[in-house]
Amino acid sequence: MSQNFSSLGFVKTYIYPALALFLIPVACLFFYEHVQGTYDEFFRQGMRDEIKADRTLNPQERAEELAQIENVDLSSLLVSSEPELVAWRNGLPADYLYMQLSIIWAIRVAWFCILAGVGTCILIGISVLLSLRSQAMQYYSLLAGWHTLRLFCTLEVIAQSLLVFSLSFWIPAFFFEIYIIKLLVVFGVMALAAMGAVVMAIFKKVDGDFVIEGHKITPEMAPQLWYDLERLSAAMQTAPPDHVIAGIDDSFFVTQCPVKLKVKDSDELETYTGRTLFVSLSLLKKLPGDEADAVLLHELAHFNGDDTLYTQKISPLLAKYGHFLQGLHDGGISLPVFYFAVMFRMLFEVSLGSLSRQREFRADRLAASGTSPQSMAQALLRITAYSYYRNELEQEFFDADQAHQQVNLSQRIDGGFLEYATAFVDKRDAGELTTTHPFDFHPPLHARLEALGFSATPDVMRPALGDDSLGPWFLKIERADDLEREQWEHYEEQFRQFHENILAYRYIPSNAEEQELVEKFFPAVDAPANKNRTVYFDFEKLTFEDWDQPTYYREIESMTLENQWGARLDLVVKRDGKKRTIKLPLSGKQAEQQQAIHILEQYYARAMSAIAYQQSQEEPVNVAEPGETFSFD
């Protein structure tokens, strides 16, 4: 996801929403200060009336006492620790005392929310600035910032939830001298839901599994590859990787995070800990030896600089942070706190991106010193061109409105890459492109090339991509061709099936083949209705025996679940230019109700998606009358 980090864009996107943090406490502060001031004035007026009615006072004494009470506030007397005032307070009616104290505590809670918010802004702002100094400072700043934010956000949600709940009592009570039980219950449930969502987000275990697809390359499978990796590692003054995984992704990367590798022909996962190097077989096949050396030295430089060590430490914190943000988002009342927490997450994102780009420049520089700047630059060009060529072909396959019998993506890439690569450098935006990576933020291509002292002009770049020989590192792996082909076949079949599924959401069937594909994913099914009757669904309509005709999904404008006098769905449909409500009585069993509703939601969503897609193609759609089939002119 791209982020707008310009000063104005950041303010509009993150700062303004974050100010919502103060909306509830500031509004409560103004409201309760007004309420408290009103009751203080009522109290003073009562004292004035008593003094004026006291016949034992002479005019001078009456004037003196009237002057003294102008500085007396009921709210101050209620929290005084003087023995006489404590005894007076204890003599007040309990309900009156509780109401007055609730106002005082609401003001205190509002001030806590405001001051804590300002203080947290300052502390987290300092931690973000410190995080820009080094990877170690980044980790410790994020660690401290995460714990501070977690504590602050949790307390803030609890406090603001209590304030919102108190408003549901005090607004009707103060302005209309009534209290509404239903309103109290609704806001009470909302407050509990917000607090519950946040607490659950803190304690729920976060799934941080990093699953990759590939094949583990052992020293026995590729002794020369391991020997050369050890040689390059020694040159980079770091230990060689513990594991090498070969796949067909369009990138290379290293990590110290535990990785889970899918076992061939199985749903099981093998976990590997330690330092892992992932190499792309498809890229190794296209990289000349010196370019492959440069790429591998670049990855080993991340080991050398402890980049992977700090990524290993920071990744779980970011995962927990993301999970906590989801809890704040789902809490409802906690949304203002969510926007506040998102702002600081994005500030840390600036820090993470800044140091990540510095790491990439450093790794490029070290790799260039171990080979040559030209080798590193040409490798970057080749990998970037390959990545974008592959993405363009995948998009072409994905956009097709016909099912693929075979995808043959790898063959298309191998057959057309050289021509694409030589033309790639003429793209006006080629220098702004970046290479993909699962952990780091890569700088734009032109910035990396310029840092290497490589002229990024088309005339210089074009000859650099003209070498189409088989990469020597690819040949160092036993059965590399078979390993690559097996993985491509698996990937292409997954892609083909996914594309078919997407087509099921695009088609309003115009022929038997399209209908067959839609029915593959949305077959005719039935679900129990009331009184042991059945409602039938297919890809375009639902049928029930009480109805004189089926109801087509395209006719439905809204659906409402009603539980009065038995569960039923009220379907508002537009037919023959008129709206009418069609009732679908549901089973009395909760599980069977959910089954019918779930099927209807799925099939209805598919139909709406297909209609929207066809309209987006700007092709006339002939909406068939009930009982007819769909067709196009």
Structural domains of the chain ordered from first start: 7-203 (no CATH), 212-312+357-494 (no CATH), 512-616 (2.30.29)
- Are the C-beta atoms of 274 and 308 separated by less than 8 Å? no
Length of the chain: 633
**C-alpha 465, offset from chain centre:** 38
Q: pLDDT tens digit string along 31-70? A: 988 888 888 888 778 777 777 787 787 888 778 777 877 7
- Specify burial of residue 184 (Cβ count, 10 A radius: 0-12, 13-18, 19+): middle
Residue at 336: amino acid letter: P
Residue at 444: amino acid letter: P
The answer on pLDDT for 430 being more than 70 is no
Least confident of 335-344, 453-462, 574-583: 453-462
Choose from 65-74, 154-163, 488-497 the range with maximum mean pLDDT.
Answer: 488-497
Span 181-194, average pLDDT? 83
Model confidence band, residue 624 (pLDDT cutoffs 50, 70, 90): very low
Over pLDDT 70: what percentage of the chain?
91
What residues pair up with 253 in beta bridges, in sequence order?
A: 278
The C-alpha atoms of residue 39 and residue 45 are separated, in whole angstroms, by 10
The C-alpha atoms of residue 493 and residue 499 are separated, in whole angstroms, by 10
The C-alpha atoms of residue 36 and residue 27 are separated, in whole angstroms, by 14
Backbone conformation region of residue 447, classed left if phi is above 0, alpha if psi is from -120 to 50, else beta: alpha
Sheet holding 541-544, edge to edge: 525-528, 534-537, 541-544, 551-552
Predicted pLDDT at 188: 84
The answer on pLDDT for 265 being more than 70 is no
Predicted pLDDT at 527: 94
The answer on pLDDT for 436 being more than 60 is no
> What residue has token string 């106002």?
103
**CA-closest candidate to residue 341, choices 324, 320, 362, 318:** 324
- pLDDT greater at residue 295 or residue 323: 295
Give the three-class secondary structure for 571. Answer: strand
Span 439-446, average pLDDT? 68
The C-alpha atoms of residue 629 and residue 508 are separated, in whole angstroms, by 10
Least confident of 101-105, 178-182, 556-560: 178-182
Predicted pLDDT at 3: 44
Residues 6 or more apart whose Cβ sits within 8 Å of residue 609 = 505, 506
Query: Rounded to whole angstroms, what are the CA distances from 197 to 200, 327, 516, 622?
Result: 5, 5, 44, 47
- Are the C-beta atoms of 579 and 557 separated by less than 8 Å? yes
**CA-closest candidate to residue 501, choices 515, 481, 517:** 517
